Structure 1
Amino acid sequence: MNQPTNQSTQRYRWAKRARDTVAPSVAAAAHGNLIELGGGYDFPDTLPDIVPEAMAAAELKRETLQYGPLYGLEDLRDAIVDYLCQDGITATRENILVVNGAKHALDLACRVFLEPGDSVIVAAPTYMNAVRILNHAEAHFISIPQDAEGMDTEILRDCLQARHDAGEPLPKLLFDMPDFHNPTAIAMSAARRERLVELATDYDFVIIEDDPYRHIRFDGEPVPPIKAFDKNGRVISLGTVSKILAPGLRIGWVNADPAIIRRMASHKSDGGTSPLLQRIVVQLFRNGTVGRHIATLSSVLRVHRDAMIDAIREHLPGTSVYSPNGGYFLWIWLPPQIDADELVRRAANEGVSIISGRLCFAEEPPGSFLRLAYSFSGTTGIVEGVKRLGRAYAAMRSEVGGPTNRLV
């Protein structure tokens, strides 16, 4: 008797874009007590109580259990306008499109702007999921290095001018995260933000400003968003409640010129973002939960950041790490002889999940890096996780040798 199997022998005629893009299988953890220091999940202990808001939304079932309006609930669009106003952004309801998280917004922007082979400017390194989405759009990458002020706009200008002088096509889009950048956690200077808008005007491209971490700030004063310098509709600003409330709510937004909003809305294939979730988020904005949650989360994550940096100092000698003023992540420079991918594998065997920096480069990475997240695990888990990582790292380092510890 033939045994059933979940593995098909069928030969499918894949689309070109799907031939080499396969999601990994869900595998059992190699360790019974896996500590998560890789993904940028929210800290479970601070997730908001939304039961009252959910019950109130359920009472409006004629609205919340139907298909949602294409652009989003008017109340939520108005609440987002008010939220943006806190950062000095002037917008109206017509500038706002509600979407299923910021990644959905980036995908829509690709649909309306990019043909296969069009060029997109990204930082080196950049957000790993943006690389995936832009790859699916068959974009050509122009990678620009960063320094302590963010993307190097003078290197970008020289690159753009060289392409112009050579008669090469200029890029259509630039993607970046200016506040507590994922993965480096760098906050771009105000001068660089203003310069990016000038370059977008001079060389005719559109900036996609993805800003999920802006309000998760521990130290220092905020600088205006890139959108604040935009006078001619050159900036598409993406926002989300994933990092300031809860990722499971799946509510994000686009703030852009109405002509862009209408084009992006026409490419939504979801029948309208869930009105039930939208109504919950409207209430969380209106009753002050969003502001209170941001303050609480920022206070907690400051402690997490400090615990992780202290643990790195103790258990990862020979590495460097940038100490950020906010956000979810630390970017770790490894000694050049340590292969990050191999360290990820060995760390999993020790019971800790981390992410190789190789995934954060659109093109060939120039060195060996790790991205660690202090957002999900508590301080005890962070310290134990870095200790486990340190065991894997020490084993590799003993095989190849390495320098003494240095922290920046």
Structure 2
Amino acid sequence: MAIDAHFTGIRAAIQNELSQATSSIRVAVAWFTDQTLFTTLLEKLAAEVSVLVVIRNDVINLNPTGIDWQQLIDAGGTLFFSQESPHLHHKLCVVDDKKVISGSYNWTYGAQRNQENIVVSDQHELVKSFRAEFDNLLSQAEEVSNITQTAAVAPPATNSALEYEALMEIEYKNKDEASDRKKQSYRELVLAGNAAYFQKRYDEAESYLQQALALKQDGIDAHEILAGLYWRTEQFQKSVDIAKKAEALGLKSAELWNALGLAYDGLKQFREAIHCFDQAIKLAPHLSTPYRNKFISQQGNRQTKDADLTALEGGRIATEAIRKYKNGGNNDLLLHAYMDRAFLHSDLPEARKHAQEALALFNRIPVKHQDMHDLEDINAVLNEKPRF
């Protein structure tokens, strides 16, 4: 059973949950203007997923520049208008009768600019309760088969406050679409997320990466960076969850296994961590970093002799990489080889020497490509505070 709270990247989190639906999506929100989420519902309808939506009949939800709700009806979805009193103010969604999404977040462009939250849970009793409430709303709502005919009989509610919000939604939508044009592809979102992660702008990085995964559910590099981000921010269980999710999708890489190992190490589940680092080593035997991390976990598990053997092998591989790339080649692998050699070296002066080499290389990297986590690790050695 899992319960996840989201305070940033909420639209991407909702889209991610919707994209995984296999049988049904039930939505009840006061206001729904977000074309991106609406498009996801249309895509699920095309995949023969049942979609039911309950909204208010007012000018925010229904206006000439807003969502074409007839499109949802014509695609096989079911639209309901809530009763006028008491007013619908829910923001809930039940997916496959197995997950619930709820919180303060309306599915609007304006909500993206507020301090909002959602909770996503697969807790059975909670899902059951929200499904019951959705059914209760449905029993009191009016099904709409033709938007034009319904509007002629029951025009969308309006007043100065609703009209103002409707105009603001149009403005927010235009800004959002302009922003989307700048970040059209999965690759661009991943690069933006990675750049933000390098600079420790974690909320921004998470938002970009969740958006990337909403576009491409099996994007391996987005999973890798996100797992590392959660580890760096000590959200170890979330790091485990994202790595396991990638594994369930059939994604495998040394980086993912390494990230999962770090998360287990953070949870002090050292045996699981060591297993993950061994898997990373199998996939990328030329990389010294999994050896370094395995060494740390073995020390945490009090496997002193095994840790010493790991340090020797990892040190040998790091030395080979330094020899290979010192005169040109892959600066990223070279920098990490220096740092792995520093962490695995028992002699502190020698470790600091390797850290100095890493620092000199770091300073030659263009600022926009510098990973500030590397600088943090370098300073840990130079300040005689190795992270093991």
TM-score range, shorter chain: under 0.3
The TM-score normalised by the length of structure 1 is 0.26
Higher strand share: 1
Q: Larger C-alpha radius of gyration, 1 or 2?
A: 2
TM-score normalised per structure 2: 0.27
Name the one with the larger helix percent: 2
